Every structure is written in structure tokens, then in C-alpha cells.
Amino acid sequence: MATKTILNVYYDDPHELALDLYPTRGPARAGVIVIHGGGWFRGDKRKEADWANRLNARGFFVLAPNYRENDSGHFPAPLDDMAKLWDWVHRRDLPFNRRQLAVVGASAGGNLAVEMALKYGIPGVSLSGILDIENWLAQHQDVVAKQGDTSNFATAASSTINQTGANDSFYKWFITNYLPHPADYAAATPANHVTSASGPLYLANSLNEFVPTSGVTQLSAALGAAGIPHSTRMLAGTRHGEAYLDDVFADTTGFIEHSLGLK
């Protein structure tokens, strides 16, 4: 059973970056970091309360961080923030075994979750993660980047955003907004960071959604070549990210439990 959420605990004072903690009532089975999406230009940790509470109800101590966005959040700033979070977690007296820690996220949060799993060797879950960057941009040079209407993104539920299928102009806009320097495209592509020490991954995507499926197939190939256990799931339709959380929650939670040796 959950206890009261602890809001706005700072893990990086210089950048005023905070996280929310979801403690368990009694011993935690393990820890899970839940990273919000938002294209690296908007979003907030509080929008992950649904996913965090579901995991918390399964006995996981959950940490939901903010990270730098917009101009201050250009690549690699959010990844640097996740490295600071990693250090913070391992310096604090938190009520779970640090060897039993996983990370999940959707959309841009899925990208960051994958990068943490690859870097630190922990289990990771990505729903519609932004994974194919270098190759996608090279193959879509004629697409004109356009922001589109983002007026309700700050308040709308994550599960309601970008649900109408492909939008290459907007997709290109937020990737190149995050990556203003083309020299960084390769370094920002997760498949290029797979090693034999990377953690196991669960990768989900809808077949006709906002995020192309090529990111899953590209990363799956790299993980397979390195001998890293992973699962992929493609869902019918145009749903993006947490819009299909109900469909994959049992599978993703089971994947975490299995990867951490909890069952």
C-alpha cells in the first residue's frame, strides 16, 4: 500500500531540478525511475503520477524527476541531469537495494530511460521512445520542420497528446530543437551506445503512430548483436506513449520483476 507522495525533493540544486518520491508502506520490492516525456521542450514529473502510482501499488519505490528543457535542455543536458540523478540515488539512504533499480519512460522520456539502461546496465522500459534520430533525419531532409499547436501541452494528460498518427514536420521540429547541432545526431542515437554491459530493455510502439517504428527495429538489432535480452511489442493503431499503458502495464511490470529477479 502506498504512503503520501513526497513532492519536490531537489537532486540538483544549481539547476533547481526536483523529483517526486512515491514511498511504499513497508519494505519496497525495488526502485523504479519514471521519466516524463514532452519532446525535451515541455512536460513535468507530476504528469507521471498515474504510471508512478500503479508501480507504487505493486510495491515499487518510485522516483519521478524533472530535467532541463527548452534552450537550457538541449542535448546532452537531460542526459547529464539523469547522470546527476543516478549519483543522487546512490548517495542517499533510500529504502530499496540500489542493485534492484529499473527505469521507464515514454516518448522523450523513453529515450532517456533507454539511455540510462544502456549506460548503467539496469532494466529499462520505453513506450514510443524517440530512438531513431541520425538515420531518420538523414532520410527526411526534405521535411520542413514545423512546431504546430502546442498550446495545451503543459496541462493535457500525456495519454492525450500526439494521438493522430504521423506528423513528420512536428517530429522533425522537436528533434532538431533538442539537437540544434547536426554533429550531435549520431551521439544522440541510442543504438550507437549499446554495449555488452547494457541492461535489458522492453520496447513498445504503435504501428502507425507519431513515433516511427524504425527506432525499435534499429535498437533491437543492436541489442541482439550485443547479446542483450530485450522484448519488443508493436500495437495496432496510432496511439502514442502512455495512451496504450493499460495494454502493456502488466507486461512491462512483469519484465521489470523478471529482470530484477523478483519472481
Is there a contact between 106 and 241 (Cβ–Cβ < 8 Å)?
A: yes
What pLDDT, on the 0 to 100 scale, is given for residue 1?
A: 45
pLDDT of residue 123: 98
CB 229 within 8 A of CB 199: no
The mean per-residue pLDDT over the stretch 161-190 comes to 91
pLDDT tens column, 122-132: 999 999 999 99
- In tens, the pLDDT along 65-120 reads 999 999 899 999 999 999 999 999 999 999 999 999 999 999 999 999 999 999 99
* pLDDT computed for residue 87 by the predictor: 98
Cell of 63: 522516483
Residue 176: the pLDDT is 96
Q: Produce one character per residue of 73-109: b if its CB has 16 or more CB atoms within 10 Å, e if not.
A: bbbbbbbebbebbbebbeeeebebeeebbbbbbbbbb
Query: Which pairing describes strands 124-127 and 201-206: parallel, antiparallel, or unpaired?
Result: parallel
More confident residue, 2 or 126: 126
Question: Does residue 2 surpass a pLDDT of 60?
Answer: no
Radius of gyration of the chain (CA): 17
Q: Domain limits of the chain?
A: 6-259
How confident is the model at residue 263, as a pLDDT?
73
For a pLDDT cut of 90, what percent of the chain falls above it? 88
CATH 1.10.8.60 fits 6-259, yes or no: no
Q: pLDDT tens, 135-169?
A: 999 999 999 999 866 656 555 566 556 667 789 99
* Distances from the Cα of 207 to the Cα of 64, 156, 173, angstroms: 28, 23, 21
CA atoms in the 13 A half-sphere facing the CB of 223: 26
pTM for this prediction? 0.95
Region 228-243: what's the mean pLDDT? 97
Q: Max Cα separation, the chain?
A: 55
Quote the cell numbers at residue 131. Answer: 530512438
Confidence (pLDDT) at 163: 64
The H or E element containing residue 220 is helix 214-225
Which three cell numbers mark 250?
A: 502488466
